[in-house]
Amino acid sequence: MQPNTLLDALLDEAGISNAGLAARVNHAGRARGLALRYEHTAVARWLKGQRPRGQVPDLICEVLAARLHRAIALGDIGLGSPGDSVMPPGSPLSGFVERATALWRSDEQQRRHIIEAPAVTGTPAVMPVWEWENPPEDSDVSRSGQTRVSMADIKMLRAARAHYELMYRKAGGIATRSRIVGFLNAETAPLLRGGYSDALGRQLHRATGGLVSVAGICAYDSDAHGLAQRYFHQALRLAKASGDRGLGAYVIALLVNQSLFMAEHRQAVAFAEAALRAAGRQITPALAADLYAMQAKAYAHLGDGSSALRCIRRAELEAERIRRGAEPDETGYVQPGLVNVQVAEALLSLGDLTAAREHATQAVDTPAHDRGRVHRLAMLSQIELRQGEVDRAARTAAEMVERARGMESQRLRDRLRAVREHLVASGCTNADEAAELIDGALRVPL
């Protein structure tokens, strides 16, 4: 039995306490000739996952609909039957909004069943991408709500996305996650549930999609992979509602990166292909370069050298077309040198150490924010070790540790551990010293 997060979120939105809901359900029941005597303890059990008996689920919908001034279905309160439609009449986005905001609330409350949920694979992982790529489109995303949304609100969301992305780059996803989730609950949820026209709604969904993507990145960086995946799927649905195919392709790039981490290499290839195919002219050179580079890594892991080299060539061609100022904010992560380090990893998997070293060195020699520089130095150190240059690899690793200090990131810790293992295996004295530096960095609690 899992907590009913949907009902919990709607009670919070409606401003109704457990005792208040019990009293209102009793009152609504009397109008139907029912003698109900529920108290706050019964509502607490419902929130823990117990299903109310008889007509009570319908009465809860009636009470909440009257309070929130909109239709509420059983699926909206987490009490729909498996075969029922989970979307209430009206905009097909309405049910999605309820579920999205409920997830944000559960994340902020640190609900273990949400945070510790494993990432899904197979059909459940593929369906959100398929639904994004294929019809039907959202013909009207307008919504009636008490909070009227304005362009100033949308500009605030865009500024928040930029702020939290920068925080993530400087401090890591673990430190940033609680802050961005708090913002989603306090500022974004009321807007998404508010009132807006179709035109304004599309801009709202786009801005929210960008913000939710960063929340997913922070969850991924915190090792909460199931939660990260749910955020990415939310962002993909928001991208579809916005009508911005480029944003959807960016979100899929995040899913490709996660697929690579989880060693779902065929899925990574398929997702990247879907993004490149469906986004069409809306895809930018920076995003295309990253998608092709990640495809190259996936093909290399699958042992398909010819496909990997083909994707490397495409990535390099797209990288040459990147023009700063012509890219959306979301693709700012594709900084100079990023494609080089991605290509270096693919070439390393293919066993071409000389070419991998050339790309990794070029990536390190290109300016980047500290987070990106840590990954580049880690890759270069690994290649130097493979080439037998242990002393040089140890110096590279020492610089990597200095760059990583102060960042709260599980992915960076993974990188540090991997480099340490390779250094220790080399048996060199200088390597032992670098390994001790890494040990010191890893002892700092997250």
Is residue 171 scored above 70 in pLDDT? yes
Give one DSSP letter per residue of 29-69, joined into a string.
HHTTT------HHHHHHHHTTPPPPTTHHHHHHHHHHHHHT
Do 73 and 118 reside in the same domain of the chain? no
Q: Return the residue matching tokens 């700012």.
A: 332
Chosen domain end from 89, 106, 127: 89
Do 61 and 176 reside in the same domain of the chain? no
Residue 85's pLDDT is 35
User: What average pLDDT does the chain have?
Assistant: 91
Q: How many domains does the chain have?
A: 3
Residue 439's domain comprises: 375-446
Is residue 157 scored above 90 in pLDDT? yes
Cis peptide before 328 (omega within 30 of 0): no
Between CA 119 and CA 196 the distance in angstroms is: 34
> Which of 391, 346, 124 has the alpha carbon at shortest distance from 255?
124
Answer whether residue 321 is part of any domain.
no
Over range 13-20, report the average pLDDT. Answer: 91
Do 85 and 96 reside in the same domain of the chain? no
Answer whether residue 113 is part of any domain.
yes
pLDDT band, very low/low/confident/very high, at 422 (cuts 50, 70, 90): confident
Answer whether residue 302 is part of any domain.
no
Over range 148-164, report the average pLDDT. Answer: 97
Residue 88's pLDDT is 36
Chosen domain end from 195, 224, 243: 243
Answer whether residue 310 is part of any domain.
no
| CA distances from residue 432 to 392, 423, 443 in whole angstroms, order as listed | 13, 7, 16
Do 67 and 146 reside in the same domain of the chain? no
Do 85 and 105 reside in the same domain of the chain? no
Answer whether residue 387 is part of any domain.
yes
Do 82 and 153 reside in the same domain of the chain? no
Cβ neighbourhood burial of 399 (10 Å; 0-12, 13-18, 19+): middle
Do 446 and 379 reside in the same domain of the chain? yes
> Do 154 and 196 meet the contact criterion of CB atoms below 8 Å apart?
no
Do 83 and 96 reside in the same domain of the chain? no
Answer whether residue 164 is part of any domain.
yes
Determine if the pTM surpasses 0.85. Answer: yes
| CA distances from residue 177 to 157, 191, 223, 254 in whole angstroms, order as listed | 16, 20, 11, 16
Chosen domain end from 219, 243, 267: 243
Between CA 366 and CA 335 the distance in angstroms is: 9
> Do 265 and 302 meet the contact criterion of CB atoms below 8 Å apart?
yes
Is residue 122 scored above 80 in pLDDT? yes
> Do 297 and 260 meet the contact criterion of CB atoms below 8 Å apart?
yes
Answer whether residue 352 is part of any domain.
no
At how many degrees (to 10) do helices 5-14 and 56-68 cross?
40
Do 234 and 112 reside in the same domain of the chain? yes
Between CA 168 and CA 177 the distance in angstroms is: 8
Over range 86-103, report the average pLDDT. Answer: 70
Residue 31's pLDDT is 87
- What are the strands, taking DSSP E only, across 383-430? none
Answer whether residue 68 is part of any domain.
yes
Which amino acid is located at 58 in the chain? D
Do 118 and 176 reside in the same domain of the chain? yes
Do 218 and 98 reside in the same domain of the chain? yes
Do 144 and 236 reside in the same domain of the chain? yes
Residue 90's pLDDT is 35
